[in-house]
Structure 1
């Protein structure tokens, strides 16, 4: 059971803005509805209340308050009716007119709700005003408040707000009711993002929640390695399909000794004729046990004398029969939406007669190496350098679940970057190596700005790799701009690509591998640092205090990379990124 379900109110028209569809207004590269949906991404069921929006993902239920435009209380009632009554204890209610809502907003509301004895927790915006449409309700209290009203049409929110509530001041919970407020929100978001240097945790959270998810489609699971389920998979057949023997031995009926028949039950063969009391039949693991079977006597517990079968003295009495539906019944959940398509998932699905599903991904990438000085093949000319990183990126990206479509070289031309960012058919991720700094030849940032892209990660507070940029183009693909420095490019790619895949495919961020860094004081600096490391004999890691970043020789005979926080000391617990083998 999930901690909370969510109701997102995306109905009313903005009367003070000429009746526009306010939730669809774009701020910072995404609509305010998308901001609200990203904020509740960790919730279980999510219901959007408002006019039908065909572009919304199928995992979001859509309903309409009756009659349309009858106010937030009626909308909450319609949303609550669309949720299963026995799912989550808490219900998040958000209005889709707040562009700065984040997952952290919902997490903080839920934290206060679980720590409080009150029936509801609401946000307070920067002006000190309670925002009753940014809150978490105890489900039972919300049900009772709506039932007490009777008629819900055109009721004010204060009619259902409990007397005993918790109010929490949270940033980013001011709404946009006028064109001027929308303009200021756009300017604020653009300025904040342009100036921000994010550490890796902040950057990953932004990518996991701020990127547009790929369109879901039906696919054979065996053909989409690296994709994720866009809808749950449920069992189409029982597992086991019928009662089968769990061991090689004898299917028996009743207590022994038993009269042993001549026929044998094989896995995949005909089912033996039913047993009478006192009878037994030889049977193989996985074979369909005959009617009348009370247990299977495994070979090591059995002794046969002529046609008589007996249990060896002192051996335990066990059933050793796997009953039909014991592991899965038809309709049982095999994997929820957001599960990555792995070998384990494909096998588990196939075992219950499911070979296809609704998926997102895999993320398809184009690699772009930039700069006239880079040469992949042939003899080097004066001033040129060998491309030592482009050939290894497909392997590294594949390890992150990304399918590389092609790898190209972009020469330094007047319009090369603009052409690169507009020719985006056939891929979801553009990995650009180089041109991310502020030098004369570093044109990527200005080209991204000309497209009107949403810059999700402007820079990193990280050494090396600070010049990294991640943006979402209006045409759909994500741009991952990596430093031209080989070690920095590989380090940032391994650190951020899994978060990009999570954001695009609708999965959770991967679980971190953490442990003690034995020489943290020797490595730590004023900002977050990433460096090669070896496994320590008794656990944890020993990192390299220095690394030559112009090539990847420093990764030879290393097990991975460690992310070292500022001010780390010996024994500080750090994150470890394993290198693909």
Structure 2
């Protein structure tokens, strides 16, 4: 075979998924991403990519899409549909890949593509010797001949395509997900493997379900998220009002100036006849008959034999300094869309629109638990004890992320302390635990999560510090966030992870990442993302601290942000900035 022959890919993303209750199996999330996205990443370097299955609007425009005929007619029908759209040369190579292989990787595709140079067909094989028909590489001509030889492709099993001779490539850890149990095993395996910060955030957003919506007073719901559109209940202004201190006038000037003064909030009746004017204050509603407002700096008052007379100054523009009813909005105007954070600005705008309640999710309530027999918050320290310098300030860091702390406790290092915590603490949406996330003798959190039948969303993260963090979902929907025990690692992990938890629970769109160039990135980068305090430089770049003591928070006292310096970064490379509370 020609080693330069193009390599294409057919990704099968259809089928009935009968053993999984008919769910959209390619959209199932394992390890923080859809299995379909994992498959597409694995074949990303292929010349042309065809996805066979129901049309998906979120796929890249370069991906070809088609569906087997009839829909649900089986994998062979899907392969035939993919070949028809691919329209490749017989000597080209094609990768067949199912979208239910959560651990498919680009290296597997590269190995199969290389192996098919010496054979018409190459199948992946797992440790047990089982052939993976839908992790395979073919010469286009050979695959086309096999499909045609079957006659009908409807409801044909993939083994019907297997030729008499083929080669195999062994891949360890290959597993497909045909049942809910397969998915849970794959998720457990994925959670045990460290993921990137981006993958951890994505897993949280995709796995953690939102809180149920509730009707609430907006003024007491700061930190929540709108669960519905926010519509104005009244026009603004409700009636025509003066935008400036000046004069309400009726008709064209000059005007006879009356003695009346209209103040803001006045309920007195006042009517102007044509040619009359009256003093008016900012915010006061216009008298009946008024056609405009002339602001003070444009007005000239002269005394005549008939009394005071008002006119515009000679160089003043002819303008109306009144605000008319509905000038800002009318009743029913959309002030904010679903998913908008309830902020002071939103509460204020809603009050201006006569809206005091709305459907919201949140705010997220948290129970904080600091662990460790050595921790002491108050009183003199005894031998072997350490001051709790983190527990008292964690509520402030959580508040910065939009979380309300409703309880703050200390847990001893006992085998059942977490079991009791999960059993007794029912009210909060989020349980934040400091310490016990590692694998030491006193680190009981992960075992307790297993006993509570929690679903591990993020097991470990490829970053320093904070790699031992864990995010889990209890069966009743409560989220558990396990933070490392030392203060700097705990705070760094909290600021990086909690916003994603809040977004997931409240249905909020995550804020865009802030990026900056790191002047001394090469000085600090390693084999994993490093989280370091950073300060801005006069030239617009940022400089990070090469080292930081993690046993206290002194290193971030005068710093403005944490920088997430990627592995292998060079000076001037971009890194995400996470602002520090000021």
Classify the TM-score, shorter chain: 0.7 to 0.9
Match of 2:204 among 202, 207, 214: 207
Deviation of the 1:348 alpha carbon: 0.2
Q: Distance in 1 between matches of 2:36 and 2:263?
A: 55
Distance 1:157 1:289, change over 3 A: farther
Deviation of the 1:228 alpha carbon: 1.2
Q: Distance in 1 between matches of 2:86 and 2:207?
A: 29
CA contact (8 A) 2:32 2:207 kept: no
For 1:531, what is the secondary structure of its paired residue?
strand
Q: Distance in 2 between matches of 1:298 and 1:352?
A: 27
CA contact (8 A) 2:264 2:281 kept: yes
Q: Distance in 2 between matches of 1:296 and 1:279?
A: 12
Distance 1:446 1:467, change over 3 A: same
The residue number in structure 1 matching 2:248 is: 251
The residue number in structure 1 matching 2:327 is: 326
Q: Distance in 2 between matches of 1:460 and 1:315?
A: 66
Deviation of the 1:516 alpha carbon: 2.2
Q: What is the TM-score of this pair, normalised by structure 1?
A: 0.72
Deviation of the 1:186 alpha carbon: 2.8
CA contact (8 A) 2:381 2:387 kept: yes
- Residue correspondences, number: 460
The residue number in structure 2 matching 1:198 is: 195
Q: Distance in 1 between matches of 2:71 and 2:415?
A: 58
Deviation of the 1:459 alpha carbon: 0.6
Q: Distance in 2 between matches of 1:100 and 1:183?
A: 14
Distance 1:458 1:208, change over 3 A: same
For 2:179, what is the secondary structure of its paired residue?
helix
1:282 aligns to 2:279 (yes or no): yes
Q: Distance in 2 between matches of 1:230 and 1:517?
A: 38
The residue number in structure 1 matching 2:474 is: 473
Deviation of the 1:535 alpha carbon: 2.7
The residue number in structure 2 matching 1:239 is: 236
Q: Distance in 1 between matches of 2:31 and 2:190?
A: 15
For 1:511, what is the secondary structure of its paired residue?
coil
1:216 aligns to 2:213 (yes or no): yes
Deviation of the 1:296 alpha carbon: 1.1
1:517 aligns to 2:515 (yes or no): no
Q: Deviations along 1:539-569, whole A, 9 cap, x unmatched?
A: 3422100111111121222222111112222
Q: Distance in 2 between matches of 1:252 and 1:171?
A: 78
Q: Deviations along 1:175-212, whole A, 9 cap, x unmatched?
A: 999995333333223222222x2222222222223211
Distance 1:542 1:128, change over 3 A: closer
Q: Distance in 2 between matches of 1:175 and 1:463?
A: 30
For 2:499, what is the secondary structure of its paired residue?
helix
Distance 1:190 1:557, change over 3 A: same
CA contact (8 A) 1:98 1:172 kept: no
CA contact (8 A) 1:547 1:554 kept: yes
The residue number in structure 1 matching 2:173 is: none
Written as runs of structure 1 = structure 2, the 5 A alignment for 1:256-275 is 256-270=253-267, 273-275=270-272
Deviation of the 1:271 alpha carbon: 5.8
The residue number in structure 2 matching 1:397 is: 398
Q: Distance in 2 between matches of 1:368 and 1:517?
A: 35
Distance 1:268 1:184, change over 3 A: same
1:100 aligns to 2:29 (yes or no): yes
The residue number in structure 1 matching 2:428 is: 427
The residue number in structure 2 matching 1:5 is: none
Q: Distance in 2 between matches of 1:252 and 1:212?
A: 59
The residue number in structure 2 matching 1:335 is: 336
Q: Distance in 2 between matches of 1:241 and 1:199?
A: 52
The residue number in structure 2 matching 1:291 is: 288
1:131 aligns to 2:53 (yes or no): yes
1:569 aligns to 2:570 (yes or no): yes
Deviation of the 1:106 alpha carbon: 12
For 2:558, what is the secondary structure of its paired residue?
coil
Q: Distance in 1 between matches of 2:53 and 2:317?
A: 65
CA contact (8 A) 1:272 1:289 kept: no
Q: Distance in 1 between matches of 2:101 and 2:544?
A: 47
Computing the radius of gyration from Cα coordinates, the structure with the larger value is: 2
1:579 aligns to 2:580 (yes or no): yes
Q: Distance in 2 between matches of 1:271 and 1:539?
A: 58
Q: Deviations along 1:348-391, whole A, 9 cap, x unmatched?
A: 00001111111111111111111111112222222221111111
The residue number in structure 2 matching 1:407 is: 408
Distance 1:172 1:440, change over 3 A: farther
- Computed over aligned residues only, the root mean square deviation of the Cα atoms, in angstroms, reads 3.5
Q: Deviations along 1:52-77, whole A, 9 cap, x unmatched?
A: xxxxxxxxxxxxxxxxxxxxxxxxxx
Which consecutive unaligned segments of at least 5 residues does structure 1 have?
A: 1-11, 24-31, 33-94, 112-123, 138-154
Deviation of the 1:96 alpha carbon: 7.5
1:493 aligns to 2:494 (yes or no): yes
Q: Distance in 1 between matches of 2:542 and 2:57?
A: 43
The residue number in structure 2 matching 1:558 is: 559
Deviation of the 1:233 alpha carbon: 1.2
For 2:355, what is the secondary structure of its paired residue?
coil
Distance 1:131 1:401, change over 3 A: same
